[in-house]
Structure 1
Amino acid sequence: MVGSSDLMPSWFEKFAKISAEIWRQLLLGMKNPGKGLTLDHLQALVEHRNPFAKTQFADVQLDIIIDWQDFYRKTFGGFCDYSNVRIPEKPEGEWRLLIIEDLSLEQLYAKCKELFPCWRWTNDDLDKKVTWNERNAKDGVRAIWVKDVQEADENLKNLSADDIQEKGVKTETLAERLIHELKFFNETGNHLDIKNVTLCAGSRRSDGLVPRVVFDGDRMDVDWYRSDGASGGLRSREVVS
C-alpha cells in the first residue's frame, strides 16, 4: 500500500511518465510486432510472471507474422496487430500458416475479382448463401496451418464432405480458401488448384451443398457440390487450428 509520504508530486510525475511510456511501447508493439510491448506482456506483469519469457509467439518466425500484417494492410487497408494471435503448434512436415481476419465472403470474392478473373455460380450474397462454417474469425483473428501445396491434399481425394465430417478431419472453409488464394497469388502470381478442385468441406450452404473452388483455365470459379459426392480430382484441404 502506498503511504502518505509517497503521495508527493514527484511520485505522480514518475507514474505519469511510466504510464506514457507504456502506452508508447504498446503502440510500437502494435505497429511493429517483436518491438515494444504487447498486452500479453502487461498481463504477465500483473500476474507476477516474467513478461519477456519465451512464448509461443516467439517460437513462430516473426517475419511470417509481419508478412501477413503487411499483406492485409496492402490488400484490404487499415491497421493490423497480430502480436496476440494464438498460433497452433505446427505439425510435422511442410505446412503454411494462414492468418484469418474477420472478412465477409463478399469482401474476399470482390478482392479476388479485382485482382484476377472470377466466376461464381450465384449472384446472391455469398454470406447469406453459406450459413455454416466450421470456424470463423468473428471473435478475433485466427491462425491455422494448412498443407503448403498448390493442389488440394492428395490424401483427401475420393472423400466426400460427409466422409470428411465422419472422420473428424478439420478442413478449409470457403473464407479460408479465398484468403489462401489471395495470399498464394500475392506471393507467386500463380493460383491454387489449376489441376484439381478444393472441396471446402468446412462450410455448407443452407441447403447442405458444399462450396468448391478451382482455377479453371483463366479464371477462379466458385460453385457447389453435393455433400456425399466424391472424386479423384475433388479434394479438401486439411487444417490444424
Structure 2
Amino acid sequence: MKESRTNTDWVSDAPTPAQLKEFFAQMERGKITKERLQAFLRGGVEISDMLRDWEKFYLETFGIKVDLSGLNVPPHKKGFDRLIVVILGITPQKIYDKCKDLFPCWKWTDKSLDEIVTSDRTAKDGTYAVWFKDVVEADEKLKNLSANDLKKKEISGITLEERLLYELKLFQETEEHLDISSWTLCAGSRCDDGYAPDVYWNCGKLKVNWYHSGHRYAHLRSRQAVS
C-alpha cells in the first residue's frame, strides 16, 4: 500500500540552483508574495498551507468553494515542489475557458476539449493532488522523448488538465506564463485520434496544440508527475 503524506507534514528539501535563480528573479520583478517569501525563509512549506492556497484559488478563480483539509496528498519527492490540485468535476474545457477569460488563448480545434481528450488522471470521481517540478520550462531531461517513449519507460506525464491548471495558478501568483521556450507535451492525455496535446506560450497567447504520440523533438518535453 502506498504511503501517503498527511497535510500537516512539511516539504523541506533544499531548493535546487535553478529554483533559487527563478525565485530571486521573481523577487526582483516584485512577483513573490508575502506568503511565498515567508515559506522560503522558514525553509519549507506546510502542505496544509498549500491546500488552503488552492482553496483560495478555486474560490477566487472559479467561484467554487472547496474543503481540501482531508485530501490525501502523495508523498513529496525531492525536486518536485509544485503541488497541483484537481478538484471534483473540473474538466479541460472549463480550465481552458477560464484561461481565455484572463489572457489570450488558442486551441487547434473548435470542439470542446472535454469531447476529444481523455487523461490518465481525472477528477471525474474525486479530487486529487499531484506533484511536479516547480520550473517555467518543461523538463530538459525529458527532451527527445515522445509520449509513446515515456509510456514504455513508465514515466508518468502531466495531463492537459494539470498543465492548464498549472498555467492558471502561476499566472495568479506572478502574472507570468509557462513554456516560453519549450512546449509541454501532455503525455498523460490523448486526443480521440491518439495524438497527445501540448501547451506553450507563443506570440502573446497560450496555445493548445497536438503532436503525434510517436514524435520526439528537443523543444517538446513532458513534465513528470509524482502521484
Greater helix content:
1
> 1:1-241 to 2 correspondence within 5 Å?
56-60=6-10, 61=46, 62-101=48-87, 102-130=89-117, 132-241=118-227
Deviation at 1:94, TM superposition (A): 4.6
Q: Secondary structure at the match of 2:53?
A: helix
TM-score by length of 1: 0.75
Q: Secondary structure at the match of 1:227?
A: coil
Q: Secondary structure at the match of 1:56?
A: coil
Matched residue count: 186
Q: Secondary structure at the match of 1:75?
A: helix
Q: Secondary structure at the match of 1:228?
A: coil
Give the AA of the match of 2:77.
Answer: P
Task: For 1:189 and 1:174, locate their aligned partners in 2 and report how far apart those are by CA, in whole Å.
Answer: 20
- The gaps in structure 2 that reach 5 residues or longer are 11-45
Larger Rg: 1
Q: Which residue is 1:12 aligned to?
A: none
* 1:64-83 deviation digits (Å, cap 9, x = unpaired): 11111100000001211001
| Worse overlay, 58-67 or 79-88 | 58-67
Q: Secondary structure at the match of 2:201?
A: strand
Task: For 1:165 and 1:114, locate their aligned partners in 2 and report how far apart those are by CA, in whole Å.
Answer: 34
Contact persistence 1:194–1:217 (CA under 8 A)? no
Deviation at 1:139, TM superposition (A): 1.7
Q: Which residue is 1:49 aligned to?
A: none
TM-score by length of 2: 0.80
Task: For 1:63 and 1:217, locate their aligned partners in 2 and report how far apart those are by CA, in whole Å.
Answer: 35
Task: For 2:174 and 2:7, locate their aligned partners in 1 and report how far apart those are by CA, in whole Å.
Answer: 26
| RMSD between superposed Cα atoms in Å | 1.1
State, as a whole percentage, how many aligned pairs show the same letter.
Answer: 47
Task: For 2:216 and 2:124, locate their aligned partners in 1 and report how far apart those are by CA, in whole Å.
Answer: 31
